[in-house]
Structure 1
Amino acid sequence: MGILVALLVLSVLIFFHELGHFTAARFFGVQVDVFSIGFGKKLYSKMIGKTQWSISAIPLGGYVKMKGQDDTDPTNISYDDDSYNTKKPWQRIIILLAGPFANFLMAFLLYLAISYMGVPKLLAYVGEVGKDTPAYQAGLQKEDKIVQINGNNILYWENIGKQINDSKNDITLIVEREQTLITLQLKPKVIDDQNIFGEKITRRIIGIGPLDKQTTVYYGFIDGFGYAWEETKRASLLIFKSVQKLITGVVSTDKLGGIITIVDVTAQASSAGILSLFFFTALISVNLGVLNLLPIPALDGGHIMFNLYEMLRGKAPSDNAMYYITLVGWAMLISLMLLGLYNDVNRLMG
């Protein structure tokens, strides 16, 4: 059941991505010949207007085939008025950007729904207090509730680490213990650590862990938009940084996951509940949006680069150059997919 949910989630995300391209293309008067979810043999198709809407056998992507635009043969162009090729470069760029934009919008809407469904957050109660730590030496105790750090109100556990790291000197804690407020002075300890990308960093700690005590935060109509915007922005920056670290070699290529990992983790998220599924689906949606903006020929980002070149030079790259550059792009894309699949198989085999 989890695998079916995962494939459905991927299909929905692909549909929204391609719907973005389709909507922008039709807005500018471009004829769309095919709108397909999946690749390979068509399982179902129906002509609506001049567009063939299809569901294909391999649910690993999708495509919108516009008149005069063919990734498999970039020399196959058309100069009819309703062709992609006859549109101005800035119009083509908007058509190309519409797909990734739809993914970011999808993530935003999912985070918005999460904000109204209720976001689980750990409360700022102290659970574990490590021995010989600044917290232990200052007298912090289990079940103390941290109310303020350096005059800043603390509502949730997630706020504590940032306040400690942002402080340059000693910190002042106000904690609630048995309905009494107590003020404590601490000198954080600086330790060597690693961030999520495995890079060496230093951070300040006081030596405490959270108590398993949480609440559900329901956002109002307006506040929900703020939450959705911040979460979409945070997820986008995380994916951008991840790609950057992968390209620069900070993150090893064996960390790259493929379709098997995506399906597996999505299935796990679905079994954990609708909230977990929404969170992970939003992250995948942002991932699709960011990856499609990479300047690789055969991806939206690569086509955007071609059109920017045409805007700057006043002419498009030659048909011959477009053909070979697109071949290189497909080779890069297929290589990345095979690498992800190879890593998936390795992980499955332990």
Structure 2
Amino acid sequence: MGTITFLLVLSFLVFFHELGHFLAARYFGVKIHVFSIGFGKQIFAKEWKGTTWQLALIPLGGYVQMKGQDDKNPNLKEDGDDSYNTKKPWQRIIILFAGPFANFILAAILYFSIAMMGASTWAAQVGQVQENSPAFHAGILSNDEIIKINDTEIKSWDEIGKTIISTNGTLKFFIKRDGVIIAKTINPQISDSENMFKEKIKKRMIGISPSGKIINLDLSFGESLIYAYDKTIFASTMIFQGIQKLVQGAIPSSEVGGVISIGKVISDASESSIIALFAITALISVNLGVLNLLPIPALDGGHIMFNLYEMITRRKPSDQVFMFLTILGWVILGSLMLLGIYNDINRIFLNN
């Protein structure tokens, strides 16, 4: 069941990505020869409105084959108003960007659905209080519920940290203890901490940790839209930063995962709940969008880079340079995929 869920989710994400390219290309009048989910041998096909819609044997991706553009033949040129290569560079950039953009839209839709179904998060309830911390000296106790900081209403644990970091000076905490509202004045101190990439950082802290109590957020339609936007932006930023840290060496290459890791995560999420499955699908959708925007020649980001070059210089890169960089891009992608699979297999053996 987990494998079927993985293939369905992956196919859905690929379909949405390619649909973005398809709709933008059709908007600019580009003919689409093939819309494929999967690679390799065709196992199902249907012709509709001049396009062959197909399922292929290897369900680890997909593609939209436009007239005048084919990654298997980078030097392909086809004339006519309905050809990709006769479109202006800015039009081609929109067609290329539409795929990743569709993934961001899909992620936002999924996060919005989660919000409407009942997103859960940590309650703004204190668990442990660090000894000799600002919270300790202010008299904060375990199980205290933080309901407001200065003039900011607090609904979840995440909002506590955001408010502490985003404000300066002394803060006034309003806490509920045994049904009574108590005000406490706390002056956060700059302390050692770690970010999500386990790097040592300094940040304003008061020395408390969450109790672990889970609550469901009761969000209105408008609040759900904001929740979806914030989650999509946060996921995109996290993945961009993760790639940057990987290139810089702050994250070891052993952390790179492949299709096996993705499949396991999706399988585990599907067995947990529909909300967990939506959440991991949204995160993978953002991941797919971000990765496709990287300036690697075989990806959408690489093709966008070529078109930006043409817009700036008023000429296309030579066929030889274009072919060389495209092949180099495929080599880079292939190497990353092999690294991910190698790490996945290593993890399997280490866990057994």
Interval of TM-score (by shorter of Structure 1 and Structure 2):
over 0.9
Match of 1:325 in 2: 325
AA aligned opposite 2:66: M
Cα shift at 1:299: 0.5
Question: After superposition, what is the alpha-carbon deviation per residue over 1:197-236, rounded to whole angstroms, capped at 9, x for unaligned?
Answer: 2221023433333234333223222332222112111111
The answer to whether 1:92 aligns with 2:92 is yes
Cα shift at 1:168: 4.7
Match of 1:14 in 2: 14
The answer to whether 1:34 aligns with 2:40 is no
> Relative to structure 2, which stretch is displaced further, 55-64 or 181-190?
181-190
Gaps of 5+ in 2: none
The whole-number CA distance in structure 2 between the counterparts of 1:229 and 1:58 is 33
Cα shift at 1:169: 4.3
Cα shift at 1:167: 5.0
RMSD: 1.8
The whole-number CA distance in structure 1 between the counterparts of 2:104 and 2:178 is 46
Among all aligned residue pairs of Structure 1 and Structure 2, give the percentage whose two residues are the same amino acid: 51
Cα shift at 1:16: 0.5
3-state secondary structure, aligned to 2:142:
coil
The whole-number CA distance in structure 2 between the counterparts of 1:101 and 1:326 is 22
Cα shift at 1:153: 2.8
Question: After superposition, what is the alpha-carbon deviation per residue over 1:143-178, rounded to whole angstroms, capped at 9, x for unaligned?
Answer: 221223344332222122233344554443322212
Match of 1:5 in 2: 5
The whole-number CA distance in structure 2 between the counterparts of 1:283 and 1:126 is 29
Cα shift at 1:140: 2.2
Cα shift at 1:132: 4.4
Match of 1:117 in 2: 117
Cα shift at 1:272: 1.4
3-state secondary structure, aligned to 1:30:
coil
The whole-number CA distance in structure 2 between the counterparts of 1:193 and 1:216 is 28
The answer to whether 1:161 aligns with 2:182 is no
Alignment of 1:1-350 (within 5 A): 1-166=1-166, 168-350=168-350
> Relative to structure 2, which stretch is displaced further, 166-175 or 224-233?
166-175
3-state secondary structure, aligned to 1:65:
strand
Contact residue 117 and residue 218 of structure 1 kept, 8 A: no
AA aligned opposite 1:276: A
Distance 1:226 1:184, change over 3 A: closer
The whole-number CA distance in structure 2 between the counterparts of 1:61 and 1:349 is 27
3-state secondary structure, aligned to 2:203:
strand
The whole-number CA distance in structure 2 between the counterparts of 1:262 and 1:250 is 22
TM-score (norm 2): 0.93
Cα shift at 1:138: 3.2
The whole-number CA distance in structure 2 between the counterparts of 1:76 and 1:345 is 38
Q: How many residues align?
A: 350
> Relative to structure 2, which stretch is displaced further, 15-24 or 43-52?
43-52
The whole-number CA distance in structure 2 between the counterparts of 1:331 and 1:22 is 26
TM-score (norm 1): 0.94
AA aligned opposite 2:108: F
Contact residue 100 and residue 289 of structure 1 kept, 8 A: yes
The whole-number CA distance in structure 2 between the counterparts of 1:83 and 1:172 is 63
AA aligned opposite 1:305: M
3-state secondary structure, aligned to 1:109:
helix
